[in-house]
Amino acid sequence: MIQIFFAATQYAAATVTAAVRAGLFGPREGHRRLLVVSNTSAIPELTTPLDRMAGFEELRPEFDAVHSWNETIAPHHPVGWSPREQDLTVWERALRLAWDLGDGPVEIACESLQANPSRAAAEIFAESTIHVYADGLMSYGPTRDRLPGGIACRVARLLHLDLLPGLRPLLLSEYDVEAVPIPVETFLRTLSGIGAGAPPAPGRYTAVLLGQYLSALDLISEREEDELHARILRGAVAAGHTSVLFKPHPSAPVHQSRSLERAAAELGAELTVLGSPVLAETLFERDRPELVVGCFSTALVTAASFYGIPVARVGTELLLERITPYENSNRVPLTLIDAALPDLERDTEVVGKPPALTGELVAERLAPLIRAVGYCMQARAHPALRPDAEAWLTGHQAGPARYFKRRRLTSLRLPGGAPVRAEALRRHPAVRRIVRTLRAVRS
């Protein structure tokens, strides 16, 4: 059996490697395993490929061969390219020849099937079993778009990190896909091995600031993102951290760091910008910072859950207001961080203490909220969640309205929505169709 693993980031590669080491893909004997790496940054030529990053040698022994998706489909960009339907057979033959796959069955393990290169790979290997793995908080949200039947029926499992024990992933659940957690211990050992080969961070620091490059997602402007990073820095300094390290997003432009350096100079803080591609978790394990701050990065939860480091958030309320459409896959990670972690600028009395991301918090606060948000995001895919949404909204009429849009609640006829006027109801297309049908039957 040939197994092909697709990974676009070092964190993703570590996640799927941990799944392999945990035995979730069967024994080593009888399997030929290939790792296909892709660089999905805006300008791949200016960034370090995954298989050339420090620490990759820790992952390499699990695979019989490593191939570059960028080189395979050059000059196309991995995010923007997918094969034409009439060319799928040709591409499969070409890949089988180039990667020495033979004519036997193939299994693939990939990230989100909504986007390339995972979608392209699933279409090319049209008869393969598909294992989807999710390395972040998006696994707790619903599937963004409906999958074609020819792909959905081949998805065997969703492998995910158990970042919030007790919270069941919604991703792919409408297709009855089994959600399988990747053992945390195996994942942490894999990260530790990667970190052993990473270069040390320059300088000393007590707080880590996480950048996400949110302007690239069209959530906020570049100017607003610079101000968000400045707020994070000011909050960290106000909390007593005058020596901080900023870990920018790998795809972020250089001016982002320069803007933060100017803000640090005004505050009299010592700022170190991490220039090398190092996992945030490597910093957590090796340097044990006293505080980690960001907007809604998954690394905030790994710092708190896996390493017991105090964390705080900044800017989530602004993002909850701006994020569109309501079905945006970032909504659930954003909601989870906002609901579970302290606000650096407001909750000063608890900043500096490790948040208790316990089963009680998850069961009583997070799980009901996420089921309600998930239903509002994809009501047609998850009709069984409607009672949960009604219960949460009924019990939180005076609670945080930022998680829901009144227009969405109105359209779904949920508590908190605007009353439906008779005239508007008469004009509703669905009502008009029903009336026409009844009139046709009577006549």
Domain boundaries, position 281: 200-354
Q: Among 302, 330, 354, where does a domain finish?
A: 354
Q: Is residue 64 part of a domain?
A: yes
Residues forming beta bridges with residue 208, ordered by sequence position: 245, 292
Residues 343 and 377 in one domain: no
Q: Is residue 314 part of a domain?
A: yes
User: 177 phi and psi, to 5 degrees?
Assistant: -80, 130
Residues 57 and 116 in one domain: yes
Q: Which of 107, 169, 127, 157 has the alpha carbon at shortest distance from 333?
A: 169
Residues 88 and 210 in one domain: no
Q: Are 272 and 203 in contact (CB under 8 A)?
A: yes
In whole angstroms, what is the distance from residue 424 CA to residue 437 CA?
Answer: 19
Statement: the pTM of the whole predicted model exceeds 0.85: yes
**Among positive and negative, which fits the CA dihedral 42, 46, 51, 54?**
negative
Q: Is residue 421 part of a domain?
A: yes
Residues 403 and 362 in one domain: yes
Residues 299 and 161 in one domain: no
Residues 137 and 173 in one domain: yes
Q: Average model confidence (pLDDT) for the chain?
A: 92
In whole angstroms, what is the distance from residue 422 CA to residue 279 CA?
Answer: 56
Q: Among 308, 330, 354, where does a domain finish?
A: 354
The CATH number of the domain where 266 resides is what?
Answer: 3.40.50
The secondary structure of residue 363, as a DSSP letter, is I
**Among positive and negative, which fits the CA dihedral 188, 192, 194, 199?**
positive
User: If pLDDT is split at 50, 70 and 90, which confidence band does 277 have?
Assistant: confident
pLDDT of residue 425: 61
Which residue is it, tokens 């009353």?
Answer: 419
Q: Is residue 439 part of a domain?
A: no
In whole angstroms, what is the distance from residue 138 CA to residue 172 CA?
Answer: 11
Q: How far, in whole angstroms, is CA 191 from its chain's centroid?
A: 18
Cβ neighbours for 305, distance < 8 A, ≥ 6 positions apart = 163, 164, 357
Residues 413 and 318 in one domain: no
Model confidence over 186-225: pLDDT tens digits? 999 999 999 988 888 777 899 999 998 898 888 899 899 9
Q: Is residue 441 part of a domain?
A: no
What distances in angstroms separate CA 80 from CA 83, 101, 115, one per listed residue? 10, 25, 9
Q: Among 314, 337, 354, where does a domain finish?
A: 354
Residues 167 and 79 in one domain: yes
Q: Is the confidence at residue 253, as pLDDT, over 80?
A: no
Residues 114 and 181 in one domain: yes
Residues 24 and 143 in one domain: yes
pLDDT of residue 421: 60
Residues 341 and 418 in one domain: no
Q: Is the confidence at residue 423, as pLDDT, over 60?
A: no
Q: How many domains does the chain have?
A: 3
Q: Is residue 383 part of a domain?
A: yes
Residues 207 and 350 in one domain: yes
Model confidence over 306-323: pLDDT tens digits? 999 999 999 999 999 999
